[in-house]
Amino acid sequence: MDNDPIIVGWGHSQFGKLDENLEQLIGAVTREAIADAEIDAQEIDAVWLGHFNSGLIGDGFCSSMVLAAMPALRFKPATRCENACASGASAIYAALDAVRSGRVTLALVVGAEKMSGLTSAAVTKALSGASYQAEERDLSFPQIFARFAVAYAEEYGDPAEGMAHVAVKNHHNAMRNPLAQMHRQIDLEFCRHVSERNPMIADPLKLSDCSLVSDGAAALVVAPRHMAKHFRRAVGFRAAEQVNDLLPMSAKRLAAFEGPREAFRRAYAAGGVGVDDLDFAEVHDCFTIAELLSMEAMGLAEPGRASGCVIEGQTQRDGRLPINLSGGLKAKGHPVGATGVSMHVLAARQLVGEAGDMQLARPPGLGLCFNMGGGAVANCVSILEPIR
C-alpha cells in the first residue's frame, strides 16, 4: 500500500565505553541519519526515542534531546518509548503506525543509552527494574536468564556446549563489524570452563555467556512507500509484530520462550513467509541461552535441538541461517535503548549491500530482527526486505 512504511536513511555510533554523553550520542546519529536520507531536518514531522534508563544516569525525560541536534528540529513532536530492552524496536513500531496512518510523512527514530558511567553493580541493579518486582526484585538479569538455562537443561539436557559455540560465533562475527564494542576472539575452551578471566556470574551463566555494558546510539528515517522513488535506496517491512507476555517468570514455561514464539508466528503469518525464506537474522542474545531459545522459537531448530544446529555451523555466516552477523549483543554491545534500532539499521545495510566486511556473499532478500525486553516479555519481530 502507498503508506506502507519504509526505511530510507540511517545512522549508527560506535558501541562501547564512550566519552560522549547521552545528548551527544543522540545528536550524532540524528545528524547522520538525516544526512544519509538526503533530506532537510525541517522535513521531519515527528520523533520517537527508544531509551530505557531506569536510574542509569537520571536522564529519564530525554526525547527533546533529539531536537537539539539540528536547529530545524525545534518544535517537532518528540516522544520517548520505554519497553525495557525492546525500547528501540518499540519506538520504531510507534513511528511505523504514525506513517501508515498518514498522520506523519517522515519520522525520525533514535535509540540511545549511556550505561558506562556507573559501576557494574549499579548497572545490574538498574537493569533489574525490568523484572517483576513483586517476585523478582532481588534477582539480577543474569540470575533471571540462568533460570531459563536451568529450566531448559531440566527439560532437554545441558545447553552449555551450544552456549559456548554461540559466544565464539558472535565474537568471531564482531571482528568484521567496525562499530562493535568487543574486537576480541574467544575460543571454545575458554567458554567451556570457569576461570579467573571467565568467572561464573549466575550458575550456569559464565561471563562469556553475558552481553556487554555499553554506550551507543542508532537512528533511522521512516517514510511512506509512495515516496520510495525520492530516495537512493529503501528497505521495507514485510512484517513488524509485537507480542507482550506476562511479566512474572512464575507464570510462564521458561524452556519454551512462549512470547517470542508467538511473535515469530505472527510475523511469519503477516509476511507470508517461513524461517526457510530468511537469509539472515539479528536476534536478542542478551545471554547465550537466549540465542538458543530464539532459534527454537523461530522454528530454526526443534525444541531441545538448538545446540546441535549451532555446533553444526548452521548459524555461521555461511550456514543455513546466519545469526548475528553484527556480533550480536554479546560482542557488538547492548546499549539497551539503542539495541532494537541498531538491529534494524545493520539489517537494512545488509539488505542494500552496504554492510562492508559483514556483507554476505550472496545478496540477501529477507532479514529478520528480534528485539526482546525483560525475561521474554516484550517481543518485537521485524522481517525486512529491500525495496530499491
Sheet holding 5-12, edge to edge: 78-81, 46-50, 107-113, 216-224, 5-12, 235-244, 378-386, 367-373, 280-283
Q: How far apart are CA 212 and CA 337, in angstroms?
A: 14
The answer to whether residue 183 is catalytic is no
The DSSP 8-state label assigned to residue 363 in this structure reads P
Catalytic residue among 85, 210, 286, 369: 85
Q: Which cell numbers in the block locate residue 254?
A: 521458561
The secondary structure of 201-244 as a DSSP string is: EETTEEGGGB----BEEEEEEEEEGGGGGGSS--EEEEEEEEEE
Cell of 205: 551463566
Is 172 considered catalytic here? no
Q: Which entry of 51, 171, 284, 334 is annotated as an active-site residue?
A: 334
Q: Provide the annotated active-site residues.
A: 85, 334
